[in-house]
Amino acid sequence: MYLKDQSGHDLLEGVGTDRDNAATQQAVIVYAGTSLHPVVDETDVLTLSIDNNAVVSAQIEIALYYALGA
């Protein structure tokens, strides 16, 4: 799973890949080697993509939380 901005940068910083298919998982999104979170501007255009789903009847639930401000 990827959440990309208009320039193609993955705002999930790679934590959306290789998720477990049976267990609920949570992941904190921070830039590698820092404690900084990616910033999303209200004018950004975001695209959510789900990859490698070959099961026709598969279901997915995504809860995405974000905070305003930088």
Q: Where are the domains of the chain?
A: 1-70
25-63 in b/e form (b: 16+ CB < 10 A) is eeeebeeeeeeeeeeeeeeeeeeeeeeeeeeeeeeeeee
User: Is pLDDT at 22 greater than 80 in this prediction?
Assistant: no
pTM: 0.65
2: left (phi over 0), alpha (psi -120 to 50) or beta: beta
39-63 pLDDT, tens digit per residue, is 777 788 889 888 777 777 777 777 7
